[in-house]
Amino acid sequence: MAKGENQKYKLLYIMRLLYEETDEEKGLSVGDIISALAEMGVEAERKSVYSDIETLIGYGMDVEKRKKNGNTTYYHLVSREFELAELKLLVDAVQASKFITRKKSQELIKKLESLASKTQAGQLMRQVFVSNRIKTMNESIYYSVDYIHNAMTRDKEISFKYFDWNEKQEKVLRHGGSTYTVSPWALMWDDENYYLIAYDSASKKKKHYRIDRMVEMSLTDRPRQGGELLSGVDTALYSKQTFGMYGGREETVRLRCHNSLANVMVDRFGRETTFFTADREHFDIVVKVTVSPVFLSWVATFGSDIRIMSPDGVINEFLSLMDRAATQYGGKNE
């Protein structure tokens, strides 16, 4: 684009420079702005830049003038639609959301970065790598959530197929691939997973489904049912806890699991966890965990379907915990 064609965008370029290059800490002088405009093919005089900045201030941009390095005036965009602390909270929320894939998380965070200056965006990017949370594998969930919202707005039923993971980490459609048809009434985020709370007219019951396991979703032309049961559903009643925030030491343990627990292991430790075939009914996994009473109690909830194979120290802690628990009921059956 020629210089003459670029010239008409001068005011917009100055606004973009203030958004991208300045913040509470960093400012630009008029000389800096003129140099940046020149690189964009725009010629500018100091007087016209002063006038443009005043126009932007009159438009509502919160630009402050600060004297630095003697008498040089620097211009700072000191407030935006979102403050840096608010953007960090949003980044944390995206990162903590198990139902949002890594790819979609990166895309959303990139968009959040555009709401900050380049310097502030660097702080947001550093937060992206703070934790290594397990993220869902189903990219379509992002759109499924929007699809379900649309169905609820239009007061229509939806149909879909539902799958489980087997011991070979393969998707297996439930009920031989039969189509589910339900009335969507609420969405619930629980234990880092997204659920649909719906009414199943076939069984006349309230049910919930993991959205990342729903595939081939479509909107029907049938109106929703079950409003008398679910129109005022309280999603807090579905809340539950599995692992608590309980401290302990980190250990690599080997667990032998019944094949029926493939879903549980994928949910808990992620799709990247390798399954090793132990026998026709069991598979092993090797995972790094924080050994604590909470972890040991979690193992105990599955009874004989999970067995700690190693290390010996963790096995002994598990047996000791079970012994202490059994001691509380000593003589109860006598």
Q: pLDDT per residue over 283-301, tens digit each?
A: 999 998 888 888 899 999 9
CA distances to 46, 165, 236, 294 from 180, rounded to whole Å, are: 67, 18, 25, 36
Among 96, 128, 160, where does a domain finish? 128
**271: nearest Cα among 202, 169, 194, 203:** 169
Tens digits of per-residue pLDDT, 190-211? 666 778 889 999 988 888 898 8
Q: Is residue 322 one of the residues assigned to a domain?
A: yes
Q: What is the CATH number of the domain that holds 212?
A: 2.30.30
Q: What is the pLDDT of residue 319?
A: 96
Same domain, 146 and 233: yes
Same domain, 22 and 55: yes
Q: What is the pLDDT of residue 6?
A: 78
Please tell me the total count of domains within the chain: 4
Q: Is residue 178 one of the residues assigned to a domain?
A: yes
Same domain, 154 and 228: yes
Q: What is the pLDDT of residue 244?
A: 39
Token pair in block for residue 17: 């420079």
Q: What is the CATH number of the domain that holds 282?
A: 3.30.70
Beta-carbon contacts of residue 59 (< 8 Å; ≥ 6 apart): none
Q: Is residue 157 one of the residues assigned to a domain?
A: yes
Q: Give the chain's residues under pLDDT 70.
A: 1-4, 98-99, 125-139, 190-192, 233-248, 331-334
- Residue 104 domain boundaries: 84-128
Q: What is the CATH number of the domain that holds 72?
A: 1.10.10.10
Q: Cα–chain-centroid distance for residue 277? A: 32
